[in-house]
Structure 1
Amino acid sequence: MGSDVLPCYVACDVSLSMADHIDELNTGLREFRGAVHADASVADRVLCSVIGFGEEPLAVHGLYLAGEVAELPPPGPCAGTNFGPVFTYLRTRIDSDVHLLETHRVRVHRPMVFFLSDGQPTDPVTWPAAFAALTDPTWRNCPRVVTFGVGDADEGALGRIGTYRSYLSRDGVRLGTALIASVMHVLSTSGPPPGGTLS
């Protein structure tokens, strides 16, 4: 592991409506994994965690080197796509992970969240408060959020969530390309963090 790392969290909708898209997203994760692994300058600096969500979030795996990223599980039977619980989960998880990394004297770049979905949230009243807590600018670990919409994704909702960048697969953008471009841009424009998390 490098002396400075970028924690990335891939949060993917695995509700029933995603059944037609999981293969495409797994292909994107493989492309991302291969590109990071092939670049010696970043291979040991990008850590990646994969989280599935439907009605509730499910950790697929914790922070691994990006070259070891696991594939997404098949969609579950749940029809709900609740955004709020995964935002709440991410805030807790990021705090815990950053604390652990810093305990081991690893300098941590401001985390990045990749949020992937094809639908509209089924908790439209409650998710904005959970998202506001995740992206609270006074929180030292506030992540950059990149959204990637597949299928008939709600462009309006994803536009509100993508604080850093937003992509739509229907515009011809591939997931792997979006992931790689976002990570490389951060690493090329952010200097090594002096101690704590970058702002």
Structure 2
Amino acid sequence: MRRLPVYFLLDVSESMIGQPLRQLEAGMEQIVRSLRTDPQALESVYLSVIAFAGKADLIVPLIDVVSFYPPRLPVGSGTALGAALNCLMDNIEKEVVKTTAERRGDWKPVVFLMTDGRPTDNTDEVIKRWRTEFANRAQLVAITLGDRADSTLLAELTDDVLCLEGNDGKTFKQFIDWISASVTATSYLVESNPGSGISLAKKPTGLTLVKDFPVHTSSAVDESVVVLTGRCQKSKRPYLIKYNRSDDVGFGGQEFELEGAFPVEESFFAWSVNDHNRVQVNTEHLIGCPPCPHCGNGTAFAMCSCGGLLCTDGAAPYLCPWCNLEGMFSEGDGGDFDVTRGMG
């Protein structure tokens, strides 16, 4: 039986924490439910998931739809798109059966790449490898989740660069339905017309083809968000505080508005870039302060002298969950200070 391999490259950088990550997990479940209702998809479609943050890794190897179970997605600091593409190409080389004189191989793989930001690793050599060795062996559809991803770079990989505008539940569900319909249509098309490529379903409202590509600019961090890492003083469990770039620019420069604080697992650090030159942001640019998502302490935004963020319930003694230093928080003068941010 000839398989139709479908790879999902999913951005799980810290900028995806919150609703975007929950939507991706729910979306994978929705795709599988839909494909399992179609006899042709059940017979031919095989799915795989590669996640990327500060590092990239295969989290679900190529497997048939019946046996596929949507994974719980990790999260980390950084957007290692270059590493993700290398991981994809290595696995296509290893998993996809090639046609030879003795046997018919798999159909041309379909790749759905979803990202909301800019790469934080070098992609030059990876793009060359893709265009030289794999562009004719696989079909890639790149989807930017919002308008702040690097669509210029994605256009070097594929002509199919789409932008999903808005992240409300209805729009995202329509987007996931579109992916499911495209995979199903392709599974029928390759059987009836072996030389054909991917058959994209009619695009839903909110999903548009990117035509005007902005000039590519590189940055050490994703400037669309500010994400800070803290630990609960009581449980020592990590959390992320996420701020989104505001459309307004204050007197001191660009401002970022609070989205919320979100609990994460210790695996966050394994999925993060270890050396990001400790880029900082001043608190004067950050609007809002959340409570601790683990214990409910009044603020998740207190800083130990070691530079680590922790939660507290006001002026009180504390034990830093980062360095184990004992100290005392007192009522300050409300002055601004620099804090280390993630890469987004």
TM-score tier, shorter chain, comes to 0.7 to 0.9
CA distance in 1, matches of 2:43, 2:188: 15
Does residue 145 (structure 1) correspond to residue 140 (structure 2)? The answer is yes
Q: Which residue of structure 2 aligns with residue 97 of structure 1?
A: 95
Letter in 2 for 1:4: R
Deviations 1:20-57 (A, max 9, x none): 21110112111110111000122120000111111221
SS in 2 for 1:42: helix
Give 1:62 shift. 0.6
Cα contact 2:59–2:71 (8 A) shared by 1:
yes
Structure 1 Cα separation of the partners of residues 144 and 66 of structure 2: 24
Name whichever structure is richer in strand by fraction.
Answer: 2
Output the CA distance in 2 between the equivalents of 1:179 and 1:166. Answer: 14
Higher relative contact order (CA 8 A, sep 6+): 1
CA distance in 2, matches of 1:116, 1:128: 19
Secondary structure in 1 matching 2:92: helix
Tell me: CA distance 1:167–1:185, structure 2 relative to 1, closer, same or farther (3 Å).
farther
Q: 1:42 to 1:164 in 2, by over 3 A?
A: farther
The answer on whether the counterparts of 1:16 and 1:75 sit within 8 Å (CA) in structure 2 is: no
- In the TM superposition, residue 140 of structure 1 has moved relative to its aligned partner by 8.7
CA distance in 2 between counterparts of 1:92 and 1:111 reads 13
Which is higher, the Rg of structure 1 or of structure 2? 2
In the TM superposition, 1:28-47 aligns within 5 A as: 28-47=27-46
Q: Distance in 2 between matches of 1:87 and 1:115?
A: 9
Q: Which moved more, 1:176-185 or 1:31-40?
A: 176-185
Contact 2:116 2:146 in 1 (8 A): yes
- After superposition, residues 15-164 of structure 1 pair within 5 angstroms as 15-20=13-18, 21-76=20-75, 78-99=76-97, 107-123=105-121, 126-136=122-132, 139=134, 142-154=137-149, 156-157=151-152, 159-160=154-155, 163=158
- Name the structure with the higher helix share: 1
| Alpha-carbon distance, 1:10 to partner | 0.7
**Offset, 1:139:** 4.7
| Closer/same/farther in 2, CA of residues 38 and 147 from structure 1, 3 Å limit | same
Distance (whole Å) between structure 1 residues aligned to residue 41 and residue 165 of structure 2: 29
- CA distance change for structure 1 residues 180 and 38 in 2, over 3 Å: closer, same or farther? same
1 CA distance for matches of 2:16 and 2:68? 20
- SS at the partner of 1:69? coil
Matched residue type, 1:111 = P
- Cα 1:56–1:100 change in 2 (3 A) is farther
Deviation at 1:85, TM superposition (A): 0.9
Letter in 1 for 2:95: D
Residues of 2 paired with 1:114 and 1:90: CA distance? 11
The secondary structure found in structure 1 opposite 2:186 is helix
Does structure 2 retain, via aligned residues, the 8 Å contact 1:111–1:141?
Answer: no
- Residue 180 of structure 1 is matched in structure 2 by 180
Distance 1:73 1:12 in 2: 12
Q: CA deviation at 1:112?
A: 1.1
Deviation sequence 1:89-132 (CA, Å, 0-9, x none): 11111011024898xx5631101111111111112xx3143133
Identity %: 23
Structure 1 position 165 matched with structure 2 position 160: yes
Asked if structure 2 preserves the Cα contact closer than 8 Å seen for 1:18 and 1:118, the reply is yes
With the length of structure 1 as denominator, give the TM-score of the two structures.
Answer: 0.79
**Letter in structure 1 aligned against 2:125:** A
Please report the RMSD computed on the Cα atoms of aligned residues, expressed in angstroms.
Answer: 3.3
Q: 1:144, CA displacement in angstroms?
A: 0.5
TM-score (norm 2): 0.48
- Post-superposition shift, 1:153? 3.8
